[in-house]
Chains A and B, each alone.
Chain A
Amino acid sequence: MEEDIVTGILISEEGALSLDEMIHACGAEAQWIVELVEVGILVPKGVEVAAWRFGAADLIRARRLARLQRDFGAGTEAAAVILDLLDEIERLRAQLRRAGMQIG
């Protein structure tokens, strides 16, 4: 039985989601997202709130942060540090992979 193939919109690093869409995608409150932008954890394009456009990396980062806050009871600042460290680990892993090492 042939299933219909669904086609979506590709969201890349370039901004694509508005604040409302971000709120909805994270299941979060507006204030939480705004705070993350204010402390520089999320960096949307656009200056005014209405013009903010978040990319795929922002959405993934925000959800990861929420999980860290939920699962470890981490404050926003601590969760942000954890995120940065995780990113750095991933960067280092990528470097090792490029050099030919088998890194998981």
Chain B
Amino acid sequence: MEFKDYYKILAVERTASEGEIKRSYRKLARKYHPDVSKEPDAAERMQEVNEAYEVLKDPEKRAAYDRLGSGFQAGQEFHPPPGWDAGFEFRGAPFGEALGADFSEFFATLFGGGGTTRHASAFRARGEDHHAKVLIDLEDAFRSASRTVTLRTPELDQQGRLATHERTLQVKIPKGVREGQLIRLAGQGSPGPGGSPAGDLYLEIHFKPHPLYRVDGRDLYLTLPLTPWEAALGARVKAPTPSGGVEVKVPPGSQGGRKLRLKGRGIPGAPPGDLYLVLEVVLPAADSERAKQLYQTLARELAFNPRRTLGV
């Protein structure tokens, strides 16, 4: 497995004090916390940072980790020497798995095994629940679909040591599903201790960004470009919808920013959402002599000052 250089991950020297480690952790948490971070790989980095802090903040774990020696490079192939953790007893569990904590094979091998690994302040009558996000296409909400979800779950093997176990599930995505809803899959969480029932898996629904439509609850928004004459004179134009193209009547005297509501053309449901067409007036470029002439004719013959209210 891959060696993890926790000092490098937390950007501290091997001789760093507890205070320095904590400060560095806090700085990195602010940078990579998924709820506030703009970094593209925030979630992975946060897990790495949390794992490194979990080890280096605990004097015992840190001492054991230091014992492995400083000769390894991050990413290098590594196996713990036998008896490396002799004399150490790792109390407490890694951060509750139900919080979505994921940890590397490196951490699981070194710190995940033996003794109690679950803070069982209350007896757990069944396995822990798991959480995952599932990204679906907007179209999946219009007709039921099935999505593949890949899960990395920590499980106890026969020796009672933690290993990360990867599995895939094909999940039915029901029609009319919305962003932020959860699909609860009974029994797909952690296996229960001692044969008790497995926990559940909660899948959080998120839509992939769509090239055309913006999603807001059950409603959809689509920018509909119009020519100046279509907006000014009114027109019948074609517009796409997730449930097929439609012809729309643009009222005369329309301006950019106006919204036309297509009732019931949003995400299916009871009631279904609406599709709003946000009108956008697009000017043809004055890139030919003819085009320039036509614009100049308009300018001459249509008295129009859009800046008259500015007092200039």
Contact = CB atoms under 8 A, between A and B. Distances in A.
Interface string A60-75: 1001101110111100
Contacts, number: 118
Contact of A86 (B35, B96, B276): B35
A3 interface: yes
B233 interface: no
B180 A8 contact: no
Closest 6 CB pairs of A and B: A27-B98, A27-B96, A8-B183, A8-B185, A56-B182, A11-B182
Interface of B: 26, 29-30, 33-36, 38, 46, 50, 95-100, 121-122, 126, 128-129, 131, 146, 168-172, 174, 177-178, 180-186, 188, 199-204, 214, 216, 221, 223, 257, 276, 278, 280
A11 B181 contact: yes
Given A6-B169, A6-B171, A56-B182, A72 B33 contact: yes
Given A8-B185, A97-B221, A98-B214, A25 B200 contact: yes
Q: Chain B interface secondary structure, helix, strand, loop or mixed?
A: mixed
B50 A100 contact: no
Contact of A11 (B146, B169, B184): B184
A56 to B, nearest CB: 4
Contacts of B35: 64, 67-68, 82, 86
Contacts of B214: 97-98, 100
Using C-beta atoms within 8 Å of the partner chain, give the interface range for chain A.
35 or more
A56 B46 contact: no
A70 B95 contact: yes
B216 A94 contact: yes
A25 B129 contact: yes
Contact of A60 (B121, B182, B184): B182
Contacts of A100: 214, 221, 223, 278, 280
Nearest to B216: A94
A98 B174 contact: no
